[in-house]
């Protein structure tokens, strides 16, 4: 589930990037030199469509990000409990075997 949402976030982000790059800027700068080009072609509703698409993709991206935070797998690695149990058993088994503990006489030497 988390992987699916992550892939959807990547797709929506890519689409949003494309839609934003296609839009004309509202300010001056380099876009002001080419503003008459849009009037020659007669396309007036394109800006409305692109603006609505941008807002829709932005809202979808926020919703997907919130859904991904809910869908994050919690509890870490699933096999960690088995490994932890095996390690505890090995530690307990090594501690129960007699160790070479020096006696008082050997420690004095």
Band of pLDDT at residue 22, cut at 50, 70 and 90: confident
CA distance 29 to 100: 83
CA distance 59 to 51: 12
Note the pLDDT of residue 4.
Answer: 93
CA distance 58 to 52: 10
Question: In a 3-state reduction of DSSP, which class is residue 1?
Answer: coil
* Percent of the chain scoring above 90 in pLDDT: 28
pTM of the model: 0.53
102 or 4: which carries more pLDDT confidence?
4
Note the pLDDT of residue 90.
Answer: 75
Note the pLDDT of residue 78.
Answer: 54
Q: Which tokens hold the place of 53?
A: 């698409």
Does pLDDT of 64 surpass 90?
A: yes
Note the pLDDT of residue 43.
Answer: 53
Mean of pLDDT values over 37-43:
50
> Residue 101 region, left (φ>0) first, then alpha (ψ -120 to 50), else beta?
beta
């Amino acid at each position: 589930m988390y992987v699916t949402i992550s892939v959807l976030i990547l797709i929506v982000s890519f689409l949003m990037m494309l839609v934003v790059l296609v839009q004309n800027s509202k300010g001056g700068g380099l876009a002001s030199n080419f503003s008459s080009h849009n009037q020659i072609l007669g396309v007036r509703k394109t800006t409305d469509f692109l603006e609505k698409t941008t807002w829709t993709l932005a809202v979808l991206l926020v919703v997907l990000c919130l859904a991904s935070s809910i869908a994050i797998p919690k509890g870490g690695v699933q096999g960690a409990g088995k490994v932890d149990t095996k390690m505890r058993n090995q530690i307990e088994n090594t501690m129960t075997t007699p160790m070479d503990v020096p006696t008082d006489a050997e420690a004095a030497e």
